């Protein structure tokens, strides 16, 4: 039996509007599929349960999409079904993603009663013109109010997502956003994720950039904002434990640590990605196809690679070297780095790249662990590209 933590990701595909920069598998205008999605998700959980028997689920992440659009009873039914069919750790971290406009005191109370103990809210910005640019439908005032409602409902582990490096964003505008959230309800959130805006292929934002209507921010300016952010959050008592993630009181996101440490997680819901027993897989993206595939599913209808859900649209066994590359490219994003001594012998094939990184002060070795330096974190993608093509150290 594996003693590593096991995560469970549940994907909720509903959103009120589609944001201009978003390439997640989320859709506006399909709320009439909520009941069908819930039935399918409950069925998929029941199909996974025998496969996960004997393993304890340490974390659940209900992500999206906008899970806070779901009624409390829906979350309660999902979590009850997990509790009755699987072994859920008594201290499991159970996160639900929320957006300010759909947060509501009654619903928050129901989520809490159902067992949710961590809320992650997408705020992104408190500047009204930036919110419009991103197609966010909440105001700064509503976001602050929603945070107060989350605290009032008794959540003492709350993350806020923010985005910096928007076209035309000044350092002062970003400073104003971050300084404000740090004072919300007295002493602000417990965890903050600060992501640099990336222009994802196929999004409305990418089309605007391609047509010249939007000019991307200058990388040096974005780096300046990132530096200020790290200093400001350190001064406010936050520990940076990953490239974009900061926490207080040691409240790291245990579910995301499973991803970064290349550990295992089951995944259900349209478009969800999982990694279990050495196999990476993804569930069919279309919510309609997801519901259809699970409607009449039985345990005898397996998905790819013998996985238990017929909604799985692709699955691949990860080779040994590929798995080591995954461990390095995700683990080196963490300040704790990677335990080199635990890597299998095939690691020697990649060692020249990491020796090169150490020689150029991009990484350092200490007590068997390999960590990126500040400069290494700044150009991490360059190191990762070399790991993917190890003949060019």
| Interface with ligand SF4, residue 66, by CB under 6 A | yes
Measured from the CB of residue 34, what is the shortest distance to ligand SF4 in angstroms? 15
Binding mask 342-381 for ligand SF4 (x = CB under 6 A): ----------------------------------------
Compare residues 23 and 113 and give the one whose CB is closer to ligand SF4.
23
- Of 19-27, 67-75, 199-207, 241-249, the window that binds ligand SF4 (rule: CB under 6 A) is 19-27
In sequence order, the β-bridge partners of residue 99 are none
Q: Does 308 bind ligand SF4 (CB under 6 A)?
A: no
Token pair of 253, please? 């996101």
d(CA 153, CA 282): 34
Q: How far is the CB of 61 from ligand SF4 (least distance, A)?
A: 14
Out of 7, 43, 49, 65, which residue is the one contacting ligand SF4 (CB under 6 A)? 65
Position 19 contacts ligand SF4 (CB under 6 A) = yes
**Footprint on residues 88-117 left by ligand SF4 (CB under 6 A):** 99
CB of 42 to ligand SF4, least distance (A): 22
Site for ligand SF4 in 121-140 (CB under 6 A): 122
Cβ 186 to ligand SF4 shortest distance, Å: 27
**Nearest approach, Cβ of 124 to ligand SF4 (angstroms)?**
8
Q: Which is nearer to ligand SF4, 200 or 382 (CB)?
A: 200
**What is the closest distance, in whole angstroms, from the C-beta atom of residue 287 to ligand SF4 in the complex?**
13
Alpha-carbon gap, residue 311 to 366, rounded angstroms: 44
Joined together, the tokens standing for residue 126 give 């408190």
Instruction: Please report whether residue 15 would count as binding ligand SF4 according to CB under 6 A.
Output: yes
- Neighbouring CB atoms inside 10 A of 245's CB total 23
Q: Is 327 a binder of ligand SF4 (CB under 6 A)?
A: no
Q: Give phi and psi for 49, each to the nearest 5.
A: -50, -50
Asked if residues 116 and 96 have their Cβ atoms less than 8 Å apart, the reply is yes
In the complex with ligand SF4, the residue whose CB is nearer, 15 or 225, is 15
Q: Shortest Cβ distance from residue 131 to ligand SF4 (Å)?
A: 11
Nearer to ligand SF4, 26 or 330 (CB): 26
**Does 18 sit near ligand SF4 (CB under 6 A)?**
yes
Site for ligand SF4 in 20-39 (CB under 6 A): 22, 24, 26
**Which bin fits 361, alpha (ψ -120 to 50), beta or left (φ > 0)?**
left
Nearer to ligand SF4, 48 or 111 (CB): 111
Q: What are phi and psi of 115, to 5 degrees?
A: 120, -5
Helix (H, G, I), strand (E, B) or coil at 126: coil
How do beta strands 118-124 and 158-164 pair?
parallel
How many other CB atoms are there within 10 angstroms of residue 184's CB atom? Answer: 21
Q: Is 137 exposed, middle or buried (0-12, 13-18, 19+ CB in 10 A)?
A: middle
| Dist CA 360 CA 352 (whole Å) | 12
Helical segments of the chain, H only: 34-52, 72-85, 105-114, 128-133, 140-152, 171-181, 204-210, 219-235, 254-260, 287-295, 320-331, 351-359, 374-378, 380-388
Q: Please say whether the beta carbons of 376 and 368 come within 8 A.
A: no
* Min CB(379)–ligand SF4 separation in Å: 27
Q: What is the DSSP track for 261-286?
A: TT-EEEEESTT-EEEETTEEEEE-S-
Smallest gap from residue 12 Cβ to ligand SF4 (A): 9
Name the residues that contact ligand SF4, by CB under 6 A.
15, 18-19, 22, 24, 26, 64-66, 99, 122
């Amino acid at each position: 039996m594996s003693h590593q933590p096991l995560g469970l990701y549940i994907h909720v595909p509903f959103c009120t509007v589609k944001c201009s920069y978003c390439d997640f598998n989320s859709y506006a205008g399909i709320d009439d599929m909520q009941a069908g999605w819930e039935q399918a998700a409950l069925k998929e959980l029941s199909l996974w349960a025998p496969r996960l028997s004997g393993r304890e689920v340490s974390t659940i992440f209900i992500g999206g999409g906008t899970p806070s659009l779901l009624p409390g009873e829906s979350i309660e039914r999902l979590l009850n079904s997990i509790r009755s069919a699987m072994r859920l750790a008594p201290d499991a971290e159970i996160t639900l993603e929320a957006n300010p406009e759909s947060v509501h005191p009654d619903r928050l109370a129901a989520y809490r009663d159902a067992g949710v103990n961590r809320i992650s809210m997408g705020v992104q910005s408190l500047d009204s013109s930036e919110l419009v640019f991103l197609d966010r439908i909440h105001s700064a005032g509503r976001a602050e109010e929603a945070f107060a409602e989350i605290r009032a409902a008794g959540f003492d582990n709350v993350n806020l997502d923010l985005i910096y490096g928007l076209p035309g964003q000044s350092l002062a505008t970003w400073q104003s956003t971050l300084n404000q959230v740090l004072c919300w309800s007295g002493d602000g959130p417990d965890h903050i994720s600060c992501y640099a805006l990336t222009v994802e292929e196929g999004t409305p934002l990418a089309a605007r950039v391609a047509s010249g209507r939007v000019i991307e921010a200058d990388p040096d300016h974005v780096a300046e904002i990132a530096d200020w952010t790290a200093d400001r959050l350190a001064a406010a008592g936050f520990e940076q434990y990953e490239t974009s993630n900061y926490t207080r009181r040691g409240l790291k996101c245990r579910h995301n640590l499973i991803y970064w440490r290349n550990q295992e997680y089951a995944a259900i819901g349209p478009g969800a990605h999982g990694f279990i027993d050495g196999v990476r897989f993804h569930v069919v993206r279309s919510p309609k196809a997801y519901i259809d595939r699970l409607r009449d599913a039985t345990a005898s209808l397996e998905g790819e690679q013998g996985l238990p859900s017929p909604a799985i649209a692709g699955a691949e066994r990860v080779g040994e070297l590929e798995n080591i590359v995954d461990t390095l490219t995700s683990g080196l994003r963490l300040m704790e780095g990677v335990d080199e001594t635990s890597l299998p012998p095939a690691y020697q094939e990649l060692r020249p790249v990491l020796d090169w990184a150490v020689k150029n002060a991009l990484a350092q070795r200490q007590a068997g662990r390999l960590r990126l330096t500040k400069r290494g974190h700044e150009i991490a993608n360059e190191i990762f590209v070399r790991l993917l093509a190890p003949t060019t150290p």
